[in-house]
Amino acid sequence: MRFDGKVAIVTGAASGIGRAIAARLAAEGAKVCLVDRDEAALHAARPGEIGGHGETMIHACDVSDEAQVAACVQAVVGKWGRLDAVANNAGVSRGYQPITDNDMEDWKFVFGVNLFGVAHFIKHAGKVMADQGSGAIVNTASVAGIRSGAGGNAYSASKAGVISLTQTAACDLGGFGVRVNAVCPGLIETGMTQRVFDHARENDKEHKLGSRCELRRYGRPEEIAAAVCFLASDDASYITGQALPVDGGNTASLNLPGMKV
């Protein structure tokens, strides 16, 4: 019950990793606002459906729109009077075309959600937390923001931006008692990656997914949620500005083919 009496916002909470983060926070006693642009899916994702002890609310919001984000933060603070944790998790990807084929409208769309969405919430939630003198923000970046090979150009660049923003915002907000960290998930089965998993299963290649990781498997949304909740909790009270890979060891090794016998 690390979040007993605390108030949290989770973006992208209608699906995948965000839904698991919301469930874990609720299970640990938080009052949780589930945020997503998909309102119908939000209703289905809401605890009691996801379980947990804490009170919940849902708020439909497009994180790429600053005014909607400001209104969301206001709604949460208006209802519960404070804000202790934000999981900036909403994200989109746009395939793997080579840079020479990239449509720059896709770049704008991906950056609008993945990087601007995170900046919007850090700005507006950060003000509330700074006034409070406490708070923790955890951004969902990706291993794609550390190395190539895990996402398209715009997606990977946006996630590298999230890692950088995690560092700069941690510097801006640290003096106010507000921590900012990120997780960098490896391959996880969610709505975003469902086509990859479906394709692998149809072709009897599921065993190949995650086989480059040191743990030789892909991850589960709950394993990312556990890391996010650690960084959002007082257990991480002396950690800020860090980007933690949660990837089965994928980024720990070059894992060159033929080197292991």
Ligand X SMILES: NC(=O)c1ccc[n+]([C@@H]2O[C@H](COP(=O)([O-])OP(=O)(O)OC[C@H]3O[C@@H](n4cnc5c(N)ncnc54)[C@H](O)[C@@H]3O)[C@@H](O)[C@H]2O)c1
Residues with a known catalytic role? 155
Site for ligand X contains 251 (CB under 6 A): no
From the list 73, 110, 113, 227, which residue makes contact with ligand X (rule: CB under 6 A)?
A: 113
Return the range that interacts with ligand X (CB under 6 A); candidates 122-130, 169-177, 183-191, 208-216: 183-191
Judged by beta carbon, residue 134 or residue 251, the one nearer ligand X is: 251
Q: Does 161 bind ligand X (CB under 6 A)?
A: no
Q: Note whether 34 binds ligand X by CB under 6 A.
A: no
The reply to whether 62 sits near ligand X by the rule CB under 6 A is yes
For residue 232, the Cα-to-chain-centroid distance in whole angstroms is: 12
Residues in contact with ligand X, counted by CB under 6 A, come to a total of 30
What span, in angstroms and rounded, lies between the C-alpha atoms of 177 and 53?
Answer: 27
- Min dist CB 143 to ligand X, Å, is 6
Among residues 10, 28, 36, 213, the one that binds ligand X under rule CB under 6 A: 36
Between 53 and 195, name the residue whose CB sits nearer to ligand X.
195
- Tell me the DSSP string of the chain: -TTTT-EEEEETTTSHHHHHHHHHHHHTT-EEEEEES-HHHHHHHSTTTT--SS-EEEEE--TT-HHHHHHHHHHHHHHHS---EEEE----------GGG--HHHHHHHHIIIIIHHHHHHHHHHHHHHHHT-EEEEEE--GGGTSSSSS-HHHHHHHHHHHHHHHHHHHHHHTTTEEEEEEEE-SB-STTTHHHHHHHHHTT-GGGTTTTSTTSS-B-HHHHHHHHHHHHSGGGTT--S-EEEESTTGGG----TT---
Q: Across-strand partners of 219? A: 188
For ligand X, give the closer residue by CB, 7 or 45: 45
* Comparison of 211 and 237: residue with beta carbon closer to ligand X: 211
153 belongs to the binding site for ligand X (CB under 6 A): no
91 counts as binding ligand X under rule CB under 6 A: yes
Task: Tell me if 16 contacts ligand X by CB under 6 A.
Answer: yes
Shortest separation between residue 215's beta carbon and ligand X, angstroms:
15
Question: Which residue, 32 or 92, has its beta carbon nearer to ligand X?
Answer: 92
Residue 37 within binding range of ligand X, rule CB under 6 A: yes
54 binds ligand X (CB under 6 A): no
